[in-house]
Structure formats: structure tokens, C-alpha cells
Amino acid sequence: MLCDFYGCAFFMKVTNGELTMTISNIFPQLEIPNTLAAGPGPGNTDARVLARFASAGIADHMHDAVLKGMIECKFMLRDLFGTKNIHTFGVAGTGWSGLDCMFSAVMPGDTVVAFSNGTFSGIDALTLRMKAATRDELAQDSLNPKASSVTVIEVPHGQSVTGEMVDAALKKHKPKWAFMAHWETGSGRINDIQGFSNACMKHNAMGLIDAVSSLGVEDFAIDDFKGIAAWASCPQKGVMCLPLTYAPVSFTDQYIDVLKANGSYTYCHHPIMEARHWGIVDGQDVEKGGYHRTHSGYAVAAFHEALRITLEYGLSQRADDYVFHENALRQAVISMGCEVTSNMTSLIVLNLPGDLSGREMELVQTCRAENFGIWPTLSSPVQVRIGILNQLTQSAITDIVNRFAVAMNKMGADVNIETINLGLEIYYKQAIAAE
């Protein structure tokens, strides 16, 4: 007999005259509401991408259509990255999966200089310390190894990594590898990618770049940066796909040669082995990929559509639109009395007005409770982060601004929302008139 008690299902039966009960935690179907993702990422996935995900047939992961989609994705990724690198493909998972794949060539004892100016480049630096640590160094502190071969340059919160910083550090330490995040969403700062590449070439270091937040948002071609040997990004920011699809990566021939010579302590995220499933074998494109690990036909369909949308939009146009709409948001929050400290074009990082200072986390939690997904910074000092990923319209920016203004007023601010909206109207009308 099946019964229900306080939301749990339980079975009752009689055995040899005794009543016994077995409880089974079968919960109601999970309902997740729509949320305006207005943080550093993930952003709201395009409805067309979700449609392709949902409409994909139940297919074997080695089905010809799935493999065809993967091969087409690698060619679209080369266009998006702006590269002729053969080893350009997607790593199943989030951006961390792509980064782990990129770092897989770093071996114990390798010399590394890593630049950290926020939460995520800091985690990247920790990953590199784990990869380069010796067995003894790992044994001493396996979760936070102090690898003697790795130098981490800590740049103060809210500041960018400059070419001069990179040049000085590489000149001093002469590393095999150098690492930097292109855009650091922990603090909302853009770092000097050209200066980094130049310094890597000058000091004979192989550059590794975290492009998680910049790919698909800024207009750049990776082949223009000759000092950088490997790039890793993510699916859920500029590419605007589901978080658990494919993290774009791209490796130069130099990187692959080093990997072949030295090996890697991984199977799953081994760049050469991963590439085979995408139809890249022995540095050549082949007609059909071979098995490496199980891929999802749903994820392939979604990723394929996200890349199509990005390329149809045009990277140059999208980059311009991010600049344009970020400026509208920036002006609006400044007019509310906030101080903006970021220079990214997909994300605003701000300090609240003086009378609300110290209540940043409270404001974020209030907004999230109303399905308005803004974020705090994940390191001190706590700031507020408001993102515009896939929100490149006047109506979307106006919605974000109004939700934020209402939340501030609930905390005691005196924001004149009518005046704020008038400022947005003027900004967009002037832009239309200028066209």
C-alpha cells in the first residue's frame, strides 16, 4: 500500500502479521522559475539555442549527425576565435573544463608566472600551482600547494594587468609558461592582452590565456597574438549557450609539440585525444571523428546553434553593441550615486552610494529573491556586479536599470526612477538620431 505523509512517499505492508513501513524520498517535480541573469555569467541562453537542445533526437553519441555537428562546430569556432589553429574545438563541460584542458600541458616542476587580479584568475593560479607542484609539494598541502616553480603576481583588486607588469616579471623569472586572464570578471577588469603577448615573445615564454569572459564579446583574433600558445573560454558567456555544453579551446602547433614531447597526466582533458573526437588527427582535419568519450547530441545541437547565431550577428557588431549598451547602464547607475570601477563591456562592477555602503550583499540577496540575478564580488572588498550578457536591447537595459533602482529604493535610497528612465530615453534617442 502506497501512502503519503508530509511530502514523502512510504510503503506499508504486512509480513507474518507485522506491519512494516519503508520511506522513499520521492519529491514533486522540480519547478525552476525564469530568472533575469544579470550577472557576470552564465547569461540567459538564447531561446533558439534552447529550442535546438530540446528538439534534438535521442541519438547515439557516435551518430553521423552528431559527429557532423561537431566537425561543423570546430570550423565555426575557428572563425569565432580568428585562428587557423587546427587544434580548435570544444571541451565538454563549463569554462573550468576548458581551462583544465589548457593547463594539462603544465607538468610538475615547470616554471610558471601567473598574474592574478581577481577571483577567477586567482583560481587559475591555484590550478597552475597544483599542476606544477612536485609530489612532495603536493603532499605538504595538497589543496593549496606552494609550488616553488610557480610565481604568482598579485595585482590589487580593481586594477588591470599591464604589459609593463608582465614584461618585468617575465624578464626576472624567465618562465616556461606565462598565464593571464584576458577579462577578469571577479573585478570587472580588462587586462593588456597585446602587452602580455609581446612580453611572452620577448622572453621566450609560452602564453596561456583565460578568455572565458572575452570570447564572443570583444572583437579580436587570436592569431594576432603570436606570444600566446593556448586559449580557453566557456560556453555560457559570449557564446551564450547552456553552461554544460562545450568550452572552446584553441592550441598552436608549438603547444601541441610541447605536449607531445612531455605528455600530460590526464586522459579526459588531453588536448590531442579530445581533438580526435572532433575530426582532428595527427594535426589534420579528417572526415569523421573517433571515440574519445561520450558526447551529448543535445549539447552538440545547442552549441552548434549558439555558434551560428554568434557568427550571423557578427563579432564586430556584437562588440560594438556591448560597448553601446554597457555605456547606457554605466551612466544610469552613476546617476543613482554609484561608483563604477570596472572597464569590461559586458559587466558593471560598482560601489553603492555612501549611505548604503556595506549593504551590498543584502541588496544582491534582495534582488535574487525576486528572480533578478545580479552578483556580489567573491572577494574583498564586496562590490555589486551587474551584467548584460545577451541583453543587448534598449528594453532589456531599461528593465535591468529599473529593477536595480527599485531594489535600492527598498533599502532606503532616494532614486528618482522617472529621471533615470528619461536619461535612458535621451541616450537611446540620440544614438538613433546619430545613425
Band of residue 1 on the pLDDT scale cut at 50, 70, 90:
very low
Average pLDDT over every residue of 174-185: 98
Provide the 3-class DSSP secondary structure of residue 262: helix
Question: Would you call 235 exposed, middle or buried from its count of C-beta atoms within 10 A (0-12, 13-18, 19+)?
Answer: buried
pLDDT value of position 19: 63
Question: In this predicted model, what pLDDT tens digit does every residue of 217-239 receive, in sequence order?
Answer: 999 999 999 999 999 999 999 99
Q: Is the pLDDT of residue 205 over 50?
A: yes
Which neighbouring-strand residues pair with 351? 339
Of the pLDDT bands very low, low, confident and very high (cuts 50, 70, 90), residue 312 is: very high
- pLDDT class for 14, splitting at 50, 70, 90? low
Give me the pLDDT at residue 120, please.
95
User: What nine digits make up the cell of 404?
Assistant: 536595480
pLDDT of 348 higher than 90:
yes
Look-up: residue for cell 573550468?
Answer: 96
Question: What confidence tens digit (pLDDT) does each residue in 317-328 have?
Answer: 999 999 999 999
CA distance 362 to 154: 29
Cell of 220: 579580436
pTM value?
A: 0.92
Q: Indicate the pLDDT class of residue 2, thresholds 50, 70 and 90.
A: very low
| Helix (H/G/I), strand (E/B), else coil: 379 | coil
**Count of alpha carbons within 13 angstroms of residue 89, beta-carbon side:** 26
pLDDT digits (tens, 9 = 90+) for 16-35: 666 666 667 888 999 999 99
Tell me the C-alpha distance between 305 and 78, whole Å. 15
3-state SS assignment for residue 243: coil
Summarised one tens digit per residue, pLDDT across range 384-395 is 999 999 999 999
> How many whole angstroms separate alpha carbon 432 and alpha carbon 317?
16
What pLDDT is attached to residue 73? 97
User: Which of 123-137, 154-168, 420-434 comes out lowest in average pLDDT?
Assistant: 420-434
Q: Look at strands 339-340 and 347-351 and give their pairing.
A: antiparallel
Indicate the average pLDDT of the chain. Answer: 93
pLDDT for position 317 = 97
Q: What is the pLDDT of residues 93-110, one digit of tens each?
A: 999 999 999 999 999 999
Whole-number pLDDT of residue 26: 87
pLDDT in tens, 349-399: 999 999 999 999 999 999 999 999 999 998 878 999 999 999 999 999 999
**Is pLDDT of 433 > 60?**
yes
**DSSP symbols for 331-349:** HHHHHTT-EE----SSEEE
| Band of residue 163 on the pLDDT scale cut at 50, 70, 90 | very high
Q: Is the pLDDT of residue 15 over 70?
A: no
* pLDDT for res 5: 45
Report the alpha-carbon distance of residue 94 to residue 243 in Å, rounded.
6
